[in-house]
Every structure is written in C-alpha cells, then in structure tokens.
Amino acid sequence: MVGIRYIGVLFWMDQAERNLLSVYRSDWTESRPVFTIRSPARPNPIALSLAEIVNVTGGIITMKGIEALDGSPVIDIKPYVRDLDCVEAQKD
C-alpha cells in the first residue's frame, strides 16, 4: 500500500445492539435518534470508519483511529483519496 496513508474501512459491528432506535447517555437530558449520533447501537450493523495506516506486513494492515473493536469482521477497505473523498465547506 505504497503512498496510501489513510483507508476507509467498512466493517460489521457484530456486537452492536440492533433493536434500539434512540439511545440515552447520562450526560444528556433526553435520548437521541441513533442516526443523528455516532452510537454503536444501529439497526444496520454495517459501519464505515477512516483509519490511518501504521504498518503493512504480510497482508496484515495495522491501523489507528478506527472506530471498531479488535476482531470486528472487515467487509471492504478503500484507499482515502483526498481529491475524491474530501468534502470542503461551501459558502452559500
């Protein structure tokens, strides 16, 4: 993976709760819908995270910054390409 520093990782949140549509944290005054926050409780357990590559050895990619538990099943990886993947703020 020469020249690639970041990758997008699609993974399966196999330990996530799937029957909750809203969640509550102790520091909130009310529950919030799971699609408006970064909660691991999701009706659809497919997740996307951007990770920084630390090392690649023998087909094993070591990364940091991924929002997944160790051992989460990986569905796919894609190289992060700034010109394609970066969304810049637009002035209206």
Chunk the chain into consecutive blocks of 10 residues (it has 92) and report each block's average pLDDT, rounded to whole numbers. 86 84 85 81 86 93 90 93 79 66
Query: How high is the pLDDT of residue 70?
Result: 86
Locus of tokens 């970064």: 38
Query: How high is the pLDDT of residue 61?
Result: 92
Q: Which domains does the chain have, with CATH numbers?
A: 6-85 (2.40.30.70)
* Residue 84, H or E segment: helix 82-85
Return the ∠ at Cα 23 (arms to 9 and 87), rounded to 5°.
40
- End-to-end Cα, the chain, rounded Å: 38
Query: How high is the pLDDT of residue 2?
Result: 67
Query: How high is the pLDDT of residue 1?
Result: 57
CA gap 31, 74 in Å, rounded: 30
Query: How high is the pLDDT of residue 80?
Result: 92
Backbone phi, psi, residue 20, to 5° = -105, 135
